[in-house]
Amino acid sequence: MRRLVMICLLFLPVMGLAQEEDDKGMLTKFLESSLSGAGRSVEVVGLRGAISSEATIEEIRISDDEGLWITLSKIKLNWNRLAVLRGNINVNELSADSIVLARLPKTTPDPEAPTAEATPFSLPELPVSINIQKLSAGRIELGEPVLGQEAVLSLETKLVLLEGDGEAILEATRIEGPSGKFDLDAAFSNATRQLRIDLEAAEVADGIVASLLRLPGTPAIDLRVKGEGPLDDFTADIRLASAGEERLAGQVILSTEASETPETPATRVILADISGDMAPLFAPEYRDFFGSEIALKSLVHLYANGEATLDNLSLTTASMALKGAVSLSSDGLPDKFDVTLKMADPSGKPVLLPVAGARTLLKRADLTAAFDAAKGERWALSGIVEGFDTDTVDLGRAAIAANGLIRRDTPSRVSAALRLDMDGLKLADPALDQAIGSRGQFTGNVLWEEGADIQLSDFELAAGGLLVDGKAAIGGLGNDLMLNGRLRMLAPDITRFSGLAARPLTGELLTIVEGSFAPLTGAFDADITARGRDLTINDPRFDRLARGETVLAFSGKRDFDGLNLRHAALDTDGFDITVKGDLNSNNGNVVLAARLEDTAVVLEGVSGPSTVDGTATLTNGDWSFDVKATAPGETVATIDGGVPASGPMDASIDMTVGRLETFLDALPGQARIQADTRQLETGWKVDLTASGPFETQAAGSGVIDIEGNNSLFDLTGSLPLAIANRQLAPNSVQGLATYDLRLEGAPALENISGTIRTAGARFSLPSLRASLDDINSTIALANGTAGVAVTTAFSGGGTISVDGSVDLSGPFNANLPIRVSDLAYRDGQLLETVVDGMVQVAGPLTGGGTISGDLVLGQTNIRIASAALAGVGDVPEIAHVGEPASARRTRANAGLIKEETTKSNASAPFSLDLRIRTGERISVRGMGLNADFDGGMTIAGTTNNLDTQGQLELIRGRMAFLTKTFDIDEGLIRLEGDLIPWMRVQATSKQTDATVRVILEGRLNDPEIILESEPELPEDEVLSQLLFGRDLSSISGLQAAQLAAALASLSGNGPGRPRLGRNTGLDELALTFDESGTPGLRAGKYINENVYTEVGVDSEGKSSISLNLDVTESLTVKGRVDSDSDSGIGLFFQKDY
């Protein structure tokens, strides 16, 4: 409003100089030009009667950079024109029918800084007198941005400023919405020093003031300030009420005290005594802090020599008491202070502090500061803060201590020794809390000296294993602010910073920063060094490089001449990179050099050094660069190009690999890639060619827009499928893929169209002892979908075909019917089968889809004998020390390396609905079993939780066991969770004294024989009763031989063997297997100490006998003869070391 009145007053002298005939032309333009300025535009419409005693303006519109902010309509001026010539502005009436203030104008800060000296109050001495008897507006519309709610007011004002005397009478009334008024009657005379003030502001509930202050419940507000008298003896009574209740009342008294000598000006005195219950004016949660009374008492003396004292300061609430006194000398330094601050809820519980921002609680604060120059130069501050708790930090208990000296010698100086101890510190961020810990300590010294830099010395911060220390000087306070210092940070173990880095960290880190910094200009001259030892970040590549010492160093200077990068480097035991250069806005040069001692650190299996050397040059604002890189495999790459100051960037790339087999085992030979790129408004223009061994070639041309939708790029060529063998190991693929592709739009799979084809390819599956041969496939990409058509022959016989589609954008919905025809599968040990049927994969491939189908098993043979017979034991775990990369790669390809896997957020499982039926009987042989099964099974559930239903049931069968053959009376085969079939067959034999059951049970690749009897007998007895109807100890030698022959037909580790050897008097009785897995039995006996004889028989009835004669401890004679009349004799010499 002050700005509006001043603009209106500025019209007066301008209009006084006008001519009548210029009302609508030159005068209007002159007014608009004179009143407009930087960030302000004034438009005057309908000026009439500019030189008469009554002038009118139809409308004034004032705008700033953000648009129109105020409109004044129907303005009328009744004034004394001739008084302007005498330097007086006499206005009988200045009014407007309406003023629409949509918002407050955009303001610019006043460039003039306030003076440091205090000045007495007086009215401005203007070169003209102002006498406005009536300044009014019938309707003032205020927009919501002005006061927080729309408001309509009426205004009537009288304003007089004449020869040092002033009077202002203002009456503002709200005429729409909640009623309210603001009345002011104020006057002051420079000559008599007489002041009168009578202010009354009152609003009903939901008024403007209550809303702006966000008072709870937006109550009715009534504020009155009234006082009259000379400034030397003036008293103002203050009363504030809300909702009809008094909230604050008191007095502010201005007076003077005469000096001891007449020539010395009097001392001004300000006394304040105000108190009341203001708690209802604050949010309810703050009422415990304020309580039922807030009281402010203070006595201020302002002396003529510039000294000042604040005596009897007292500000109290229910939870706070600030008391004390302060005395300042004319130089601004204190002569004395004694201040205490106590904060605590009377009940002892934490109290909510009335501060802006996050919710802040405090349990207790007790601070004391004291100094008295009359007693000495030392000052002190001490205190305790407990339970300072916000949403982000709980300080626990903080002990504060500071002391120092205040000296008025020339130069004046103030020193401080600071100490802060924190215990029970807790941060809301778990990662930050882990890093900082629960205890912390800060110590340091500060020295201010008149005319010198502020010195910070010996400062040290220790928290959570982190130690920060150093020193600094702060100079040039103001626009030339400059920091000089040295900072040292030591973290002996960075493990506790793992949470902040969001990855596991280990190692030691020391960082030193030294130099000068100008925060306001950005200038610096600094050296920074960070030294790490045995750093790890849970990245194998970095961790291998960072073994031992890692050094990151920077040395540089930035000033108004530019940047001088003296040295920037990273150095580890296996990698180093260095950057140097000088730069300014137009010219400069930057040089980069990097070397990796062994590329295998970042690219497994590729040994040898890699290097990068480059130069970037800035000439008259134009950049040019030249980079050369080398790598193993006779790899050389060059990149050169430029970035003009006004023009697009361009670059050329040429890369040659002399021995491609260094990177891709299956592609020996030479490869080359060449590309030219140029920056366009729509992206990058790229032309590339590539060639390599085994018909590898590529050609591409077009525009690639990485961040937009303007890509149009064509790529054609061929690529050996063997390039994928390292990722597919131990599987492998052979053949050639040809492609003709186009990218149109944003770089994404769904925007690629074209075809990818293979002909006669082969995919080997050594773990299945099979391969997919003659793979002919076409993948057609269009409209965000890949059409897939594949036919292939299975190595064991039969074919597989796929004809479907997959979406090229997540979740990659698929419709893939897979046809299996006469597929003959043999695993070489357990299973032979022929499969026909259809399997359908549908839905999202990222998880949640469905796998369904119907498979029919043709002629199927299961041989459990060779699967169950273990000729050798498991190979023990072998620790490979110093293993070459090539050897490790071979073991990885063979699947002999167990990789540790971590569970992640797995995608949704696939639903299963697979039906397996038998088209022919399934024959199961081995371990004496000869049986036929048929039936069907269903695999349901999900890939994470299989639900198998159904089983194969026995048709007929017999079991040969220990020279006897039994009819099988029950049998079944069903699938378990890992899809390896589980079997149970049972044969029953009724003897004279017992009923014996022979059971073969377990997974088909590892079944076991179980003997049961009724009544229950030991297994050895069951075995003897089953064969001979008598106790094991009662069998004859011939029966023992029969038992041995019977055991030879058993394909498994049946019971009874250990005890049988003891009871028959043999020194050895063992079950053996030849290279083909055929079982046999070996029995041996020492005839005397030097002669050992051994008899062997296999399941086919062939037998042999051998005789060993120990001639000496080192010489043995061996002879052998078998049932085929083959014989042999040999001499064996052995020596133990």
Range of the domain at 559: 467-581
Written as six digits, the tokens of 582 are: 């000088």
Is the pLDDT score of 335 beyond 50? yes
Least confident of 66-80, 352-366, 815-829: 66-80
Q: What is the pLDDT of residues 138-190, one digit of tens each?
A: 888 888 887 778 888 888 888 777 777 888 888 889 888 888 888 889 998 88
Is the pLDDT score of 1108 beyond 90? no
Q: Quick one: average pLDDT of 523-530?
A: 95
- The closest alpha carbon to 234, from 273, 195, 265, 268, belongs to 195
Asked whether residue 281 is domain-assigned, the answer is no
- Distance, first Cα to last Cα, the chain: 112
Are 374 and 502 within one domain?
A: no
Is the pLDDT score of 8 beyond 60? no
pLDDT for res 1010: 85
Asked whether residue 317 is domain-assigned, the answer is no
Phi-psi region of 784 (alpha: psi -120 to 50; beta: other; left: phi over 0): left
pLDDT for res 771: 92
- The closest alpha carbon to 1119, from 1133, 1132, 1108, belongs to 1108
Q: Quick one: average pLDDT of 300-321?
A: 91
Are 786 and 744 within one domain?
A: yes
pLDDT for res 868: 42
Domain boundary among 790, 808, 826: 808
Are 793 and 738 within one domain?
A: yes
Asked whether residue 496 is domain-assigned, the answer is yes
Are 447 and 474 within one domain?
A: no
Asked whether residue 842 is domain-assigned, the answer is yes
Asked whether residue 947 is domain-assigned, the answer is yes
Q: Is omega for the bond preceding 1015 within 30 degrees of 0, making it cis?
A: yes
Are 775 and 846 within one domain?
A: no
Are 50 and 162 within one domain?
A: yes
Asked whether residue 221 is domain-assigned, the answer is no
- The closest alpha carbon to 928, from 982, 1016, 1009, 832, belongs to 1009
Are 839 and 713 within one domain?
A: no
State phi, psi for 328 to the nearest 5 degrees: -115, 140
- The closest alpha carbon to 753, from 781, 726, 728, 787, belongs to 781
When the pLDDT of each residue in the chain is averaged and rounded to a whole number, the result is 83
Helix (H, G, I), strand (E, B) or coil at 501: helix
Q: What is the pLDDT of residues 686-710, one digit of tens each?
A: 999 999 998 899 999 999 988 888 8
Can you give the pTM of this predicted structure?
0.61
Asked whether residue 219 is domain-assigned, the answer is no
pLDDT for res 1: 47
Are β-strands 922-926 and 860-863 bridged in parallel, bridged antiparallel, or unpaired? parallel
How many domains is the chain partitioned into structurally? Answer: 6
pLDDT for res 21: 41
Q: What is the pLDDT of residues 536-585, one digit of tens each?
A: 999 888 888 888 899 999 999 999 889 999 999 999 988 999 999 999 98
Q: Quick one: average pLDDT of 477-489?
A: 88
Are 963 and 1051 within one domain?
A: no
pLDDT for res 35: 67
CA 246/CA 292 separation, integer angstroms: 12
Asked whether residue 186 is domain-assigned, the answer is no
Q: What is the pLDDT of residues 208-228, one digit of tens each?
A: 888 877 788 889 989 899 999
CA 93/CA 53 separation, integer angstroms: 11
Are 769 and 822 within one domain?
A: no
Written as six digits, the tokens of 938 are: 């269903």
Task: Calculate the alpha carbon distances from 864 to 291, 929, 967, 1000, 1005 in Å.
Answer: 89, 9, 19, 11, 6
Q: Which residue has the higher pLDDT, 741 or 69?
A: 741
Are 823 and 953 within one domain?
A: yes
- The closest alpha carbon to 603, from 951, 885, 213, belongs to 885
pLDDT for res 885: 58
Percent of the chain scored above 70 by pLDDT? 84
Are 418 and 507 within one domain?
A: no
pLDDT for res 1007: 86
**In which band, very low, low, confident or very high, does the pLDDT at 314 lie, cut at 50, 70 and 90?**
very high
Domain boundary among 448, 464, 480: 464
Domain boundary among 139, 160, 177: 177
Written as six digits, the tokens of 1076 are: 């083909």
Is the pLDDT score of 114 beyond 50? no
Is the pLDDT score of 1058 beyond 50? no
pLDDT for res 122: 54
Are 159 and 96 within one domain?
A: yes
